Amino acid sequence: MQHPTITAESLLTLAETNISRGLLAEAEEALQRLVKQTPSKWQSAAKLPDGNIQIAFWNEQEYHDYLLYFKEQQVGKVLTHVYPSYAKAYYLLSALAVEQKDLSRASVYINRALELEPDHPEILCEKALIMNHLGHLKDAYELYVNAVYSRAWNSNMIQAKAMRGAGIVLEELGNLDAAAVMLKKSLQLEPANQVAMNELSHIYLQRMTQQNNHSAVTRPWWKFWQKNT
């Protein structure tokens, strides 16, 4: 089927629009067309000979998060936001594959995204999610922690997201105390996040259940008798 000529930037925009509308098949088609155009030596960031910096940011928020760091650290002369991010395209393909419960295909896409942009926190979080689904909990935890510290300019929101993921994995590993600490740290960065609060409530209920079960097992038999007489 012949497709009309469309720019790479427009393909990514089309894919994201279709995802927001729930048109996942159409989104995947646009992303597949986009990744086929990935330049062989594409880089997410480059410092040019004149000292200027070019970065393929994923969105305007990410650009503004980095801009402050750029100015404070005097990284270069001029910062330019270039389009599109092919790493983001592979990340979105991976996320769509996870939605379809195709973890094998999701792993292929997320690994390609990591090759293109190995320090992007969203990619690391998605890889961690896949590892979690595959049962590799320790690997998932390490990826989430890496996502927290992957970049000096990571926003509070993305750090909180990674901490929530790490906390949930720790909970699944049975380390409730460490999980609670991680989730509380995430709430310091993103207060009132419902996911973190729900997980903390779940941990509290687990602790109460464990304490009640422990009391039932360790209480001397005559205590039960005294209670009922």
Identify the pLDDT of residue 104: 97
Q: If phi over 0 gives left and psi between -120 and 50 gives alpha, with beta otherwise, what is residue 22?
A: left
What mean pLDDT value characterizes the chain? Answer: 91
Q: Which CATH superfamily is domain 7-38+89-118 in?
A: Tetratricopeptide repeat domain (1.25.40.10)
Question: First CA to last CA across the chain, in angstroms?
Answer: 83
Superfamily (CATH) of domain 120-213: Tetratricopeptide repeat domain (1.25.40.10)
Tell me the whole-structure pTM to 2 decimals. 0.88
Residue ranges per structural domain of the chain: 7-38+89-118, 45-84, 120-213
pLDDT, tens digit, 9 for 90 and up, residues 14-46: 999 999 999 999 999 999 999 999 999 999 999
Q: What pLDDT is attached to residue 6?
A: 86
Sheet holding 45-47, edge to edge: 45-47, 53-55, 79-81
Q: Give yes or no on whether 7-38+89-118 and 120-213 have one common fold.
A: yes
Residue 97, phi-psi category: left (phi > 0), alpha (psi -120 to 50), beta (remainder) = alpha
| pLDDT recorded at residue 27 | 98
Average of per-residue pLDDT across 117-130: 98
Residue pLDDT, tens place only, 151-192: 999 999 999 999 999 999 999 999 999 999 999 999 999 999
Of the chain, the percentage scoring pLDDT greater than 70 comes to: 90
Instruction: Give the whole-angstrom CA distance, residue 58 versus residue 89.
Output: 10
The pLDDT value given to residue 51: 86
pLDDT at site 221:
43
DSSP string, 179-192: HHHHHHHHHHHSTT
